[in-house]
Amino acid sequence: MLLRLWNYVKGYVIIFVEGYFLEKFVNICTRRQIFLWDIKKRKNSSMSMKVSIKGFKMLRPIAKKTGCRVKIIGRRGVPFVLYRYKRRKTFVAGAVLFVLLFYFMTSFVWSIEVTGNEKLETEVIMDKVYQLGVKPGVLKYRINPHDVANSLRFDIKDLSWVSVVIKGTKVKIEVAEGVEKPKLVDKNTPCDIVAAKDGVIKSIIVKAGLEAVKVGETVKKGQVLISGTVPVKNQEDNPRILHAIGDVIARTWYDAREPVETKIFEKNRTGRKKDYLSVVIFSKKIGLFHAGLPYEEYEKVNIEKNLTIGEDLVLPFGIVIERYYENNIIEKEISLDEAKKIAANNAYKKVYSNLPKDAKIVDTSVNFIENEDGRIFAEAIIECLENIGYEREIGGN
């Protein structure tokens, strides 16, 4: 393998030798240290072989002495490739310019990727990254990943770990969010535990303070559940004021209404579509031959394609296809039962969107209510168990 590579670098020719003294021709070449290889004997007193460029120049007197004829049937190697493109100066200059331009373009950051965040918005991290000078179009050699990682970890309190790596033209930022610290109780500040919302008391655990409500009692928002004012025996006018602590679990209800409609409107694609093409150059979007939309009702889908080489080599060029699908709006009559089912599902979705994260669902129900003008509404009700108590400073709001 090394010998073949060396011969290709130096260059060699494939020759066709014809004559009656072929063995004598080869022997003389060997004695004169002319290296021949891949010798193949052919019919009619002829053979083919390979010889270096330097060796080929020494063959003329040997061929004359042995009465053989030598003809070149192939040229291989770097010298011939360079000679072939020597006359094509424009092509060579273009190739060199392309290599230089490619090296120049890959010296910048063109993409930033953030992973690992769940609660913290990506925009928050990106804003801080931009403030640190890491943005598309910045020379990647000016970025110190270690310093950027440290700045993000110290400036964004919700992050416990940050890794910044530059791969190709992409900055990869991997983060881990810290566990929320438990709220510290300031026992020196007297307060009551009051209801954050209406509910029916399911259970009450008092750790400090005086129980102000009983299990099964209905309470209103703002009502005191655990009092921080504790009477002292034989000192009714001088009660003890402390920081109430405890958990109050209550049954709460959430509801939402949606109208029952037997006439609905459906969107159906007609099969017709229209594409508008835009090119993206250094984050600037340039539309190509955009005309007015030919459809009154349509659905728009954006298809973005960036110029990339592999996963990490992203270049600041791409195309955006704005695809418009024509729709027909069809008015459809459905049965009352089907309309009720749709309204109930929509009402449930609306209720679920308003539920607190820590609320435990214990029951769900739906009622259909008809108002004075004959319209029917689906009312979804969800019953939950949740801690409704929160601390309110005594004498505060």
Domain endpoint, select from 82, 99, 128: 82
Contact 68, 19 (CB under 8 A): yes
Same domain as 129, residue 58: no
Q: Is residue 104 part of a domain?
A: no
Distance of CA 7 to the CA centre of its chain: 49
Q: Residues 6 or more apart from 238 whose CB is under 8 A from it?
A: 232
Structure pTM?
Answer: 0.52
Pairwise CA distance, residues 75 & 368, whole Å = 90
Same domain as 288, residue 228: no
Q: Please give the pLDDT value at position 313.
A: 85
Q: Please give the pLDDT value at position 179.
A: 65
Same domain as 276, residue 296: yes
> Beta strands 199-208 and 210-211: pairing type?
unpaired
Q: Is residue 100 part of a domain?
A: no
Please give the order of strands across the beta sheet that includes 69-76: 36-42, 46-52, 12-18, 69-76
Residue 171: exposure state from Cβ atoms within 10 A (0-12, 13-18, ≥19): buried
Contact 122, 114 (CB under 8 A): yes
Q: Please give the pLDDT value at position 77.
A: 86
The amino acid that residue 160 corresponds to is S
Q: Is residue 89 part of a domain?
A: no
Pairwise CA distance, residues 201 & 385, whole Å = 9
Same domain as 279, residue 253: no
> Beta strands 263-281 and 313-333: pairing type?
antiparallel
Same domain as 208, residue 120: no
Residue 105: exposure state from Cβ atoms within 10 A (0-12, 13-18, ≥19): middle
Domain that holds residue 21: 2-82
Same domain as 68, residue 123: no
Residue 324: exposure state from Cβ atoms within 10 A (0-12, 13-18, ≥19): middle
Q: Long-range contacts made by residues 59-63, C-beta under 8 angstroms, separation at least 24?
A: 59/15, 59/29, 59/34, 62/25, 62/28, 62/29, 62/32, 62/34, 63/17, 63/19, 63/25
Same domain as 236, residue 276: no
3-state helix, strand, coil in the chain (%, to 5): 25, 45, 30
Same domain as 231, residue 173: no
> What DSSP string describes 95-129?
HHHHHHHHHHHTTB--EEEEES-SSS-HHHHHHHH
Average per-residue pLDDT for the chain: 88
Please give the order of strands across the beta sheet that includes 210-211: 210-211, 224-227, 191-195, 389-393
Q: Is residue 87 part of a domain?
A: no
Q: Which two tokens stand for residue 194?
A: 């009051």
Strand partners, 46: 18, 42
Question: Residue 33 is part of a domain; what is its CATH number?
Answer: 3.30.70.260
Q: Is residue 284 part of a domain?
A: yes
Q: Is residue 106 part of a domain?
A: no
Q: Is residue 102 part of a domain?
A: no
Q: Is residue 97 part of a domain?
A: no
Q: Please give the pLDDT value at position 184.
A: 55
Q: Please give the pLDDT value at position 202.
A: 95
Crossing angle, helix 78-86 and helix 2-10, to 10 degrees? 30
Contact 381, 367 (CB under 8 A): yes
Same domain as 222, residue 272: no
Question: Residue 168 is part of a domain; what is its CATH number?
Answer: 3.10.20.310
Q: Please give the pLDDT value at position 79.
A: 82
Pairwise CA distance, residues 101 & 94, whole Å = 10
Q: Please give the pLDDT value at position 250.
A: 95
The amino acid that residue 146 corresponds to is H
Same domain as 189, residue 117: no
Same domain as 115, residue 77: no
- Number of domains, the chain: 4
Domain endpoint, select from 153, 177, 201: 177
Q: Please give the pLDDT value at position 379.
A: 94
Q: Please give the pLDDT value at position 397.
A: 58
Same domain as 288, residue 235: no
In the predicted model, residues of the chain with pLDDT beneath 50 are none
Domain endpoint, select from 160, 177, 194: 177
Helix or strand run (H / E) with residue 303:
strand 298-309
